[in-house]
A and B are shown apart, each in its own frame.
Chain A
């Protein structure tokens, strides 16, 4: 499985390079030796470091291993980077980590571009109120297919394989929907509609104030 994205930044190559490599850069997208804030156990081993040109590393988290590579190209006054993430796996766990991390990369790089355009370090990705729903899902099966239910999600009787079609009255379609809902919904009890067999089922989920790790 391979994922490839190209991004353009309103900054010269050396500045974008610093965001990846310089501990003193005003805004960083990863630590030079510690990948990024992942909540823990990601081991990173760099396999290629060519200043202002290319970067590659291997990420290991439990049984899951990925290769990442980033190439930097100057385009007039801007910088184009291409990120490739590749690895082997088709397990649900692999899919789950893959989907979340990719979305995370897109968000972090979007924050970097906001910084180059406005000088604002908005840190949007890290301002999310993660984990309040206790639902981890990927866009599949016509909706958000649950990969894992913990805490409030598990207590509501939801389980892996359920397709979530509505939370708190809002229809759910995109992978980012649950992230946004758990950021914006107040504490309280919300209806979750899901598909398990034929027809739609419904359950009540109590949204927690505290944020699970």
Chain B
């Protein structure tokens, strides 16, 4: 498999402490190679732990529909404490693969912030698991902003007439540039909430009203795909 993405995160605590906190948050508390479990994410991903070296590394495969990936979470001492390197391996191409790559990496970034918060304060907040609604639109991050790559039937995107290639500019007057801002709306608003959406197409700005939809109608990559707690 190829490296799909890799990212490092620094923590101001010892490897032993970070490793234990990670296992406590993400589970299992004592991971064992060869065991498997189902995540509570929307897709019900199946996780199989393939390698465990205490305070060094956890590796697993994750099956989410047709998408199969391998993850390694490596722990090492750094000048400031501990460095975690998260790497995702897999194969794929096309919009859905690209969008999942972005979404997965952002979800992990948020998950690592939850871990840092937990280490510093003892407060356990799974902020990246709090989506309450969705747009039902598959967005790809581009330099210009969020570009529509797919619109689910019945979604907010369909209600406001979005098409592939449109650029999302604002929701309820608040400007958006990237996926993290879209996620904030999904955590701030409830499903059924009416919103005003502005998007650009062919040199024109379009404005229309529609309703946020249930997370069950979420498009690929729309809800965080970082680490999720077990059932």
- A residues lining the B interface (CB < 8 Å): 7-9, 106-107, 109-110, 113-114, 117-120, 122, 124-125, 127-128, 139, 141-143, 163, 165-166, 168-174, 176-177, 180-181, 183-184, 195, 197-200
What number of residue pairs across chains A and B have CB atoms under 8 A from each other?
132
- Decide if B144 touches A200 in the complex (CB within 8 Å): no
Chain A residues whose CB sits within 8 angstroms of the CB of B122 once the complex forms: 198-199
With both chains docked as a complex, state the minimum distance between the C-beta of B77 and any C-beta of chain A, in angstroms: 20
Complexed CA–CA distance, A107 and B116 (Å)? 27
- Decide if A173 touches B175 in the complex (CB within 8 Å): no
Complexed CA–CA distance, A14 and B111 (Å)? 42
With both chains docked as a complex, state the minimum distance between the C-beta of B143 and any C-beta of chain A, in angstroms: 5
Assess whether B204 is interfacial by the CB under 8 Å rule. yes
Complexed CA–CA distance, A125 and B145 (Å)? 12
Complexed CA–CA distance, A141 and B142 (Å)? 28
Chain A residues whose CB sits within 8 angstroms of the CB of B185 once the complex forms: 180, 184
For chain B residues 110-143, which have a beta carbon within 8 Å of chain A? 110, 113-123, 125, 127-128, 130, 142-143
Say whether chain B's binding surface is mostly helix, strand, loop, or mixed: mixed
With both chains docked as a complex, state the minimum distance between the C-beta of B226 and any C-beta of chain A, in angstroms: 11
- Decide if A109 touches B117 in the complex (CB within 8 Å): no
Which residue of the partner chain, among B127, B170, B176, contacts A171 with CB atoms under 8 Å?
B127
- Interface residues of B toward A: which range? 35 or more
Chain A residues whose CB sits within 8 angstroms of the CB of B178 once the complex forms: 176
Question: Which of the segments B33-41, B50-58, B156-164, B195-203 contacts the partner chain?
Answer: B195-203
Assess whether B43 is interfacial by the CB under 8 Å rule. no
Which residue of the partner chain, among B169, B180, B184, B187, contacts A114 with CB atoms under 8 Å?
B169
Complexed CA–CA distance, A8 and B110 (Å)? 27
Check A110/B143 contact, CB under 8 A, given A118-B203, A120-B203, A184-B173: yes
Chain A residues whose CB sits within 8 angstroms of the CB of B115 once the complex forms: 142
- Decide if B128 touches A173 in the complex (CB within 8 Å): yes
- Decide if A124 touches B175 in the complex (CB within 8 Å): yes
Which chain B residue has the least Cβ–Cβ distance from A200?
A: B123
Check A195/B175 contact, CB under 8 A, given A110-B144, A114-B144, A118-B200: no
Which residue of the partner chain, among A107, A143, A170, A198, contacts B117 with CB atoms under 8 Å?
A143
Which chain B residue has the least Cβ–Cβ distance from A115?
A: B144
Assess whether B171 is interfacial by the CB under 8 Å rule. yes
Q: Can you list 26 contacts pairing A with B, beta carbon distance less than 8 Å?
A: A113-B142, A114-B144, A117-B144, A118-B202, A122-B175, A122-B205, A124-B176, A124-B177, A141-B120, A163-B121, A166-B127, A171-B127, A171-B128, A171-B130, A171-B187, A173-B110, A173-B128, A174-B181, A176-B178, A177-B184, A180-B174, A181-B184, A184-B173, A184-B174, A195-B123, A198-B122
Complexed CA–CA distance, A198 and B117 (Å)? 11
Check A176/B187 contact, CB under 8 A, given A110-B144, A142-B117, A198-B121: no
Assess whether B26 is interfacial by the CB under 8 Å rule. no
